Amino acid sequence: MVKIMSNEITNILLIEDEKDIARFIELELTCEGYKVHVAYDGMQGLMSARQINPDLIILDRMLPQMNGIEVCKRLRQSTDVPILMLTAKGDITDKVEGLDAGANDYLVKPFNLDELLARVRVQLRSKKPFEKTIMEFMDLHLDTTTREIKRGDKKINLSPKEYDLLMLFMKHPKHVLNRERILENIWGWDFEGEDNVLEVYMHSLREKIEVDGKPRILQTIRGVGYVLKEPT
Ligand code: CA
């Protein structure tokens, strides 16, 4: 029996003084499966950021105590966490100021919810995912610097998409990844291609990493998705 593990928790810190907007964003992000922490002013936001060490910060520009630009600058002294800035103002100097302060992206209120969610995903994806360059699972090795892959001492050549796919599993060993999550990660959030594209790629990826009759480590979880785990 395979235990289905949930994806690891992604923490998002929302720093927004307008309670209605904060509540709305918090609810939507929570529905998407993120763990959301809310701070209602700049100082509190800065403190929360240090305590929580979030994966992403959504930062309003106009805040009491300390404005968003100042919060952003201070955060940048100690962390490279992705920062998505929100503002009611849309003029270009305002955007430049936010980006100069170290924000990764900028969204003008009122914003479209789907756009916010998409930008959150983009920032989480582009976040430097790991420090080490060699990833290992059993006898499978992946070097993220050279993109070299080996099963045992056999070198394996993958297409770019196969590589991305394998990397996703290597980053989440023993976690069942559902189809939607894989498609979104590898083919993008607005992917509208053939239904079986994932199956096709999984098939070719398996053929390659099961070199010399090595046992299957990319397992299918019927009706859910796939998992990288020891053969049963
Ligand atoms: Ca505000």
CA of 70 to the centre of ligand 1 (A): 14
CA of 90 to the centre of ligand 1 (A): 14
CA of 68 to the centre of ligand 1 (A): 9
Q: What is the pTM of this model?
A: 0.55
CA of 93 to the centre of ligand 1 (A): 18
Query: Backbone dihedral region of 73: left (phi > 0), alpha (psi from -120 to 50 degrees) or beta?
Result: alpha
| 9-127 has CATH 3.40.50.460 classification | no
Q: What are the domain boundaries of the chain?
A: 9-127, 133-228
CA of 63 to the centre of ligand 1 (A): 5
Distances in Å between the Cα of 94 and the Cα atoms of 46, 58, 78 are: 21, 16, 23
Find the angle CA(232)-CA(176)-CA(140) to the nearest 5 degrees: 60
pLDDT at 232: 78
CA of 87 to the centre of ligand 1 (A): 7
pLDDT tens digits in sequence order for the chain, 232 residues long: 333 333 468 999 999 999 999 999 999 999 888 999 999 999 999 999 989 989 999 999 999 999 999 999 999 988 889 999 998 866 777 778 888 899 999 998 888 899 999 999 999 987 655 445 788 899 999 987 788 999 999 999 999 889 999 999 998 899 999 988 888 888 875 666 677 889 999 999 999 999 999 999 999 999 999 999 999 7
Q: Give the distance from CA 78 to its chain's centroid.
A: 21
> CATH number of the domain at 133-228, out of 1.10.3470.10, 3.40.190.290, 1.10.8.590, 1.10.10.10?
1.10.10.10
Please, are residues 225 and 178 in contact by the beta-carbon 8 Å criterion? Answer: yes
CA of 172 to the centre of ligand 1 (A): 37
Please, are residues 82 and 104 in contact by the beta-carbon 8 Å criterion? Answer: yes
CA of 112 to the centre of ligand 1 (A): 17
Distances in Å between the Cα of 93 and the Cα atoms of 60, 74, 90, 179, 197 are: 16, 20, 9, 41, 43
Structure tokens belonging to residue 132? 């080490």
CA of 42 to the centre of ligand 1 (A): 10
CA of 61 to the centre of ligand 1 (A): 6
CA of 73 to the centre of ligand 1 (A): 17
